[in-house]
Amino acid sequence: MTAAANQSGRRPTTSRRLERAGIRDVAAAAGVSITTVSDALNGKGRLPDETRSRVREVAERLGYRPSAAARTLRTGRSGLIGLTVTTYGEEPFTFTEFAYFAEMARAATSAALGRGYALVVLPASSRHDVWGNIALDGTVVIDPPDQDPLVSELYRSGVPVVSDGKPGNCPVTAWVDNDHEAAVLGILDHLSEAGARRIGLLTGTSTDTYTRLSTEAYLGWCGKVGQEPVYEAYPAHDPAAGAVAADRLLARPDRPDAVYGLFDPNGTDLLAAARRYGLRVPDDLLLVCCSESDVYAATEPPITTLSLKPRRIGTTVVNLLIDAIEGVDSGTGVDIARLFPPRFRTAGNGPPPGTLMPTELIVRASSQPRSPRTTINPPRPPGEV
């Protein structure tokens, strides 16, 4: 009897065929020790290729699958990253409500998988019900509100957090955001150049960074160019409220001749409202909205959209987080993890490092400079989508 067989000999005699093969069974079958099996399968240790391949072959034959739980317990790494969205109302799950989140989540998932991690979608609320039961290596938080208790809790637990959206007052490890101010100013300039005299804004009532920064940029611009602000705010998480707000905006006595809508559905909302009031786009009303959906390429007329490039954001956020988890400083390539466990590296003083990413304005017919001819049913070649 080999030492390995001895080491695994304590299994109870009954119903062994029901058990899944463990590393001990592989060791026994291959006539080597547990250490050797582990090293062989993980490419570690000093083993001749012959032993390595033999162990691998035995493991394959037994259908051995290492226990993720045991590995996580031992190594302290689960390969799991939490993804949570905190704003946009009290709904349990507004997630993927808008194309932005869907795209961002998709890119984040891909990026994580590419580096050997998987994403777990979690709610921002409901404290220990689920959060406490999952071993997370880190968390991506979308749009954390000021003083987000969830982020604080995670920080206390030692879980690295990277946020999409500049954090108000949260101890995040790092953050990524669009340059919302530059984006709004760019759109307002674009509309002005297209002939707009009075630009309105369709905005939200929530206090997340996106809404706040965008609105502030608009108000600042109004102050600078001397235009009276014309805007309507509504709860962005309520899809029906957007149509009503769009209607209100166009029903005002000081009706704007151009509108920027901050949220994805605002394009169709505003277009429908314009039709109701007999306004032609872009002749009577210039339109831009923030959206990732390509339905606006096929509307009548096509609508100019601002893309926040969610794919780029999602990828960046995840890569930053995994860098923090693994302790690699992307700049230097130094492996910090060997010196300090990751959970203590968020404790730096000073603001967390952030990255501003540019947006992209996709100009379509709805914001073309005014011309005398009508835009109803313009002839377009069949190839254009």
Partner DNA sequence: CACTCTTGGAGAAACGTATCTCCACAGACC
Partner DNA sequence: GGTCTGTGGAGATACGTTTCTCCAAGAGTG
Stretch touching DNA by CB under 7 A, among 14-22, 157-165, 207-215, 360-368: 14-22
CB of residue 120 to a second copy, shortest distance in Å: 5
222 binds, among a second copy, DNA, none (CB under 5 to 8 A by kind): none
- AA letter at 359: T
Q: Restricting to residues 19-78, name those near DNA by CB under 7 A.
A: 19-20, 22-24, 31-36, 38-39, 41-42, 44-48, 51, 64-67, 70-71, 73-75
What does the alpha-carbon distance between residue 84 and residue 95 come to, in Å, rounded to a whole number?
A: 8
Q: Give whichever of 102 and 361 is closer to a second copy, judged by the CB atom.
A: 102
What does the alpha-carbon distance between residue 189 and residue 200 come to, in Å, rounded to a whole number?
A: 13
Q: Give whichever of 33 and 205 is closer to DNA, judged by the CB atom.
A: 33
294 binds, among DNA, a second copy, none (CB under 5 to 8 A by kind): a second copy
Structure tokens at 293: 């959906």
Q: Give whichever of 8 and 84 is closer to DNA, judged by the CB atom.
A: 8
- Cα angle: 84, vertex 86, 92; to 5 degrees: 85
CB of residue 385 to a second copy, shortest distance in Å: 5
Q: Give whichever of 107 and 213 is closer to a second copy, judged by the CB atom.
A: 107
Q: Give whichever of 66 and 352 is closer to a second copy, judged by the CB atom.
A: 66
What does the alpha-carbon distance between residue 245 and residue 251 come to, in Å, rounded to a whole number?
A: 10
- Check residue 10 for interaction with DNA (CB under 7 A): yes
Own/partner contacts of 15-23, CB < 8 Å, gap of 24 or more, are 20/63, 20/65, 21/62, 21/63, 21/64, 21/65, 22/64, 22/67, 23/64, 23/66
- Cα angle: 348, vertex 351, 357; to 5 degrees: 125
What does the alpha-carbon distance between residue 349 and residue 360 come to, in Å, rounded to a whole number?
A: 34
CB of residue 69 to a second copy, shortest distance in Å: 4
Structure tokens at 98: 């808008």
Structure tokens at 82: 């939490």
What does the alpha-carbon distance between residue 50 and residue 318 come to, in Å, rounded to a whole number?
A: 39
Tell me the C-alpha to C-alpha distance, in Å, between residue 103 and each of 95, 307, 308: 11, 11, 10
What does the alpha-carbon distance between residue 234 and residue 241 come to, in Å, rounded to a whole number?
A: 6
CB of residue 128 to DNA, shortest distance in Å: 12
CB of residue 56 to a second copy, shortest distance in Å: 12
Q: Give whichever of 50 and 90 is closer to DNA, judged by the CB atom.
A: 50
373 binds, among a second copy, DNA, none (CB under 5 to 8 A by kind): none
State which H helix or E strand residue 263 sits in.
none
What is the contact surface with a second copy in residues (CB under 8 A)? 18, 20, 63, 65-73, 78-80, 92-93, 95-97, 102-103, 105-106, 109-110, 113, 116-123, 126, 129-130, 132-135, 156-158, 239-240, 243, 247, 268-269, 271-273, 275-276, 293-295, 298-300, 341, 344, 377, 380, 382, 385
Instruction: Determine if the peptide bond prior to 301 is cis (ω within 30°).
Output: yes
Q: Give whichever of 23 and 176 is closer to DNA, judged by the CB atom.
A: 23
Q: Give whichever of 19 and 146 is closer to DNA, judged by the CB atom.
A: 19
What are the counts of helices (DSSP H) followed by strands (DSSP E) for the chain?
A: 13, 12
CB of residue 53 to a second copy, shortest distance in Å: 17
247 binds, among DNA, a second copy, none (CB under 5 to 8 A by kind): a second copy
- Interface positions with DNA (CB under 7 A): 2-4, 6-7, 10-11, 19-20, 22-24, 31-36, 38-39, 41-42, 44-48, 51, 64-67, 70-71, 73-75
